A = this chain, B = another copy of it.
């Protein structure tokens, strides 16, 4: 079990180094947890504004859509550094242990969000609601599939 845990830790570290804009260096697990929750919350707020436009709850505003989508695309790269080895607990968290048991699969979800949100940011540059909608849906599906698999209710 210890060897398996070590292998998992190494795999996650290697994955992190390949895809993350800044290596994870947290003083304590609580910081990693606060970091990932903060990044996800900030991203979620901007994403929900796009969702309100996509669903017709607020008027479509091309400039605001671009700004929000650009922020989402930037923020999408960040949370994953906060899921490093040893950050399974240390503060209240809804993260399931599967994240640390199958890090490659988790990383696929993270990479998918980064890719979809980049496409969403590109799509909002068309300046039309229709241009944004499909990319928004694909990004939202990426959020949902990861939450379904790796986030407790």
Contacts and interface: CB of A to CB of B under 8 A. Distances in A.
Contacts of A78: 42, 71
Give chain A's interface secondary structure class.
helix
A81 to B, nearest CB: 9
A74 interface: yes
- Of the four ranges (under 10, 10 to 19, 20 to 34, 35 or more), the interface on chain A belongs to 20 to 34
Interface in A68-98: 68, 70-71, 74, 78
A38 interface: yes
A35 interface: yes
A38 to B, nearest CB: 3
A38 B42 contact: yes
B35 A68 contact: no
Interface of A: 21-23, 25-26, 31, 34-35, 37-39, 41-42, 45-46, 49, 52, 58, 64, 67-68, 70-71, 74, 78
